[in-house]
Every structure is written in structure tokens, then in C-alpha cells.
Amino acid sequence: MEIRLEARKLAEVDSDALVIVGFEGAPPEIAAADQTAAQIKELYDSGEFSGKALEIAILHRPAGLTAKRLVLAGGGKPDKFDTAELRKVTGAVVRSLKSKGIRTITLALDEAWRSDDFAAAAVEGAVLGDAENDRYKTDPKKNEKQVDAFAVLGGSQSALDRGRILAEAQNFSRGLANEPANVLTPTLLAERAKQMAAEFGLECEVLDQDRMRQLGMGALVGVAQGSAEPPALVVIRYKPANTPASQDHLGLIGKGVTFDTGGISIKPAEGMEKMRYDMAGGAAVLGAMRAIAQIKPSIPVTALVPTVENMPGSKAQRPGDIVTSLSGKTVEVLNTDAEGRLILIDALTYAKRLGCTHLVDAATLTGAIVVALGNVNVGAFTNNEAFLNKLLAAAKAEGEKTWQMPMDEEYKELLKSNFADLHNIGGRSGGSITAAWFIRDFVDETPWIHLDIAGTAWLDDAKPYMAKGPTGVGLRTFVRLAESW
């Protein structure tokens, strides 16, 4: 889909569909077309269109306009309208109009919203909404209806470019997370990461199983030992062109379990097919690096993706096994389905050795976070409030809802082991918090944030603005965090 800036006046826009956002309460003004304004008012008066969020109404051959159709898109209450809402609106518009065979769409931003942030969000929503998770469908008609061009009236070309970069990176992440596990093994995930890094001028190194064993990554390698597929640790580095003003070095770490059976502590069969997205954290980190390489923030960023397959093979890790992590601390594995935290601790320790001064990890880590926050908010845990405030500001700016969870010392007591330094689960109570405490024990005093994205990384049902499947959550927050450092 071509993205372009529209410079013509509203009445002169030549497009299959000209889109304006209408809000609850009063119809939008169309000064260039009095007859069309009357038609819009009639839609409001009749209740056919009320301006509620994501409503869509179409006027064909609008009087006074060059466009073939005028599309009203509901923005909800104007005082609550922001870039996150616009992102949803444009996604819903593209998905709806694409299904009707409309090929060119132009969004006219109202004067109140003609800023670069809104223009970028509009493009993001359009590109994200256009993506489908139908790569493996053989229907020859699946590509017959597509949008050729999406234009924005308002904003700047640089804003449109930023929106396109972010959305394409997010779709890259969504595509990775949607690959079936027989296609995307740890080895092939590492290969895809190397290809991406080469394309966008990033340094990439992949540590294989032998190297990880030499280094002493017993926690990471232990998770992988039940699978015929070898593990890998992907390391991607972004270095700014100019010497940074500070010594800060951001580390992004993403869980990369390409399939999770639970190991010997095997999961129920129902829903296990979705465990191909247990590498959504790693996918978000890789996508963030794709965008960072193009947006070029002033802080160095290193991404690490420990990638494994958690299988119950004859050599699989057993409940009761004790492993030695890269930090030297020992872990009693009480539950092999609590594997994500095991691969993360070795990756985080290695990130510190590589010079990262601030660490953020993202993982589809616990079902407990879904119980706590549902499918709305990412759960955030930290050992450094100032660092978390930076990330929360970035998340708010990008419309990725994130909620801070408690980290009281009492929760750590649940991880005490009689036979090792700690065990890898703390029981049912506060499961997402004890998981975060387990990870925290390996970062020491380094500023660190853990994002549990288990409830937000996957859509069980399609939304008007996005297809069913992976969401790519976290990516925009990571990029904004680096960009605003």
C-alpha cells in the first residue's frame, strides 16, 4: 500500500473514498460543500450515524466534492480522542473499505488534529489494519480486494514516514509471531533476525548451543534440552552515528519460545496451538530494532532474544532438576512450564556483560497477568521507579496501555528453595509478581523493567481495526523510549 501526503483542498481531493472523522454530539463542518454538509446533518438527525467510536457511514457521489465517496468515521467523544483512537479509526476504515473493493483512501484530518503525531498515527492504523494473517491460505481470491494507496491531508511527510516505519516494523513482528512452529524454529528465527539486521544495517551475532554451554548459560540451555531443535541467543546492536552525550545503553530482551508444550509439566491440549506466539516478546524486540535502525535515536540499543523450543523429549528437564545460571546462581526447577523466566535470566545477565545500563524485558510470561489485567493492559514491574516512569510515558504516547504491578518484598519469600538459591515458581498466589521477582533477582541494581504481555500479545477475535492473531504489542513503546531518551 502506497502512503502519501495529500496537499490539495478538501473539495479537490480525487480519491475513491474521502474520510473525515465525526464525533458524538455534532456533525463535522464541511465548508467546501454545503449540500454534503446537509446530508451529514441528516445522518446525525436520523441516528444513522452518531459519531460513536469506529462507526462508519458512506455517502456516495457527495455534492461539491471530487471524491467518489465521503466516509464518516466515528471518533467517539472529542475530549477523549487521541492518537491511539485515531490509529483504531484508520485501521477500521481501511479494513471496512478494503472489503468493499475500494482501492484509494484519503483521510482529511480536522484542523484541531493536524499535527505530526496524529498524521503518523493515522498511517500506523492504516498499515496495521491492512495486514492479514492469511499467508498460508491457498484461496486464489484472497488478494483480489486490496487498498492501493492511503493518503493523509494534514501533517508532514516526515510524520507519514515515521508512521509507516513503525507500522511496517509492527507487522514484521506480527508476522513472526504468527508463523507456525514447524516453520519458525529457533534456528530459523535467528536466521530471520540476521536477515533483518543485514537489511537495515545492524550488527548481529548468534550464540549457538555450544557457545552458551561454554559461557555457563545453564538455565537457558536446560529449557531447550527436551527438543531436537537447538537453542540460540540472538544479539543485535544499534550504535548511533554520533557519540552519545551519556553512557546510557538500553538493553531490550524478548522471550523467544517458538513453541511451548510446557515440557514435562505439560500444558492442557486445549489452546496449546496458540503457543507458537510464546515468542511474541522476542518478535516485538526484533521489530523494534528494525524501526530503531531507521529512526536513529541517540542512545545505543542492544537487543537480545533467547530462543528455544520447550518440548517433553527423552532428555527434557525434569521437575526437581537444579540448574546453574550464567550469573552463578542456582535454580530448582519445580515446574518446567515456567520456562520463559529461565531463558530470560541468562539473557539479562549477558546483556549486563555487554554493557547495557538499563534493561527492559518483554515476555508472554504468565497466565496470572491475564487474570489480573485481562486483555487490556500490559503488566509492568520494576526495581527503578524513575526508569519505569520513562517507559510509562512512552507507552502512553504510543497508546499501549501499561499498568504498574506491585513488587513488595514479601512476594520474594515465596521463591525460597531448600536445595538451591531459589526455585522457579512461587505458587498460584501472585503468580505474575513472583515471576517478576524471580527475574529481578538476577539483575541486581541495574535499572530494569519487566513487561508481562501474555494478555495483550494475541487477539482471540478480530477487531474492526486489526486481524485476529498477534498484535506486536510493546514495539512502539520500545521505539519511543529509545527515541525520547
Which sequence positions are flagged as catalytic?
267, 341
Place of cell 524501526: 291
Cβ proximity of 305 and 286 under 8 Å:
yes
Cα pseudo-dihedral 449, 253, 121, 134, rounded to 10: -130
Q: Say whether 114 sits in a helix, a strand or coil.
A: coil
Sheet with strand 69-74: strands edge to edge: 2-6, 149-153, 104-108, 17-22, 69-74, 56-60
What number of other Cβ atoms are within 10 A of residue 8's Cβ?
13
Residue 334 exposure: Cα atoms within 13 Å on the Cβ side = 17
Give the closest residue to 5 by CA, choosing from 188, 189, 150, 141: 150
Q: Residue 263 gets which letter from DSSP?
A: T
Burial of residue 82, with CB atoms counted within 10 A of its CB: 0-12 exposed, 13-18 middle, 19 or more buried: middle
DSSP 137-182: ---TTTTSS---EEEEESS-HHHHHHHHHHHHHHHHHHHHHHS-TT
What number of other Cβ atoms are within 10 A of residue 459's Cβ?
15
| Angle at the Cα of 393 from the Cα atoms of 484 and 281, rounded to 5 degrees | 85
Q: Say whether 195 sits in a helix, a strand or coil.
A: helix
The grid coordinates listed for 17 are 473514498
Q: Say whether 66 sits in a helix, a strand or coil.
A: coil
Distance CA 161, CA 157 (A): 6
The grid coordinates listed for 334 are 519445580
Q: Say whether 395 sits in a helix, a strand or coil.
A: helix
The string over 416-444, giving b where at least 16 C-beta atoms fall within 10 Å of a residue's C-beta and e elsewhere, is eeeebbbbbbbeeebbbbbbbbbbbbbbe
**Neighbouring residues of 206: CB distance < 8 A, sequence distance ≥ 6:** 190, 193, 194, 232, 233, 234, 235
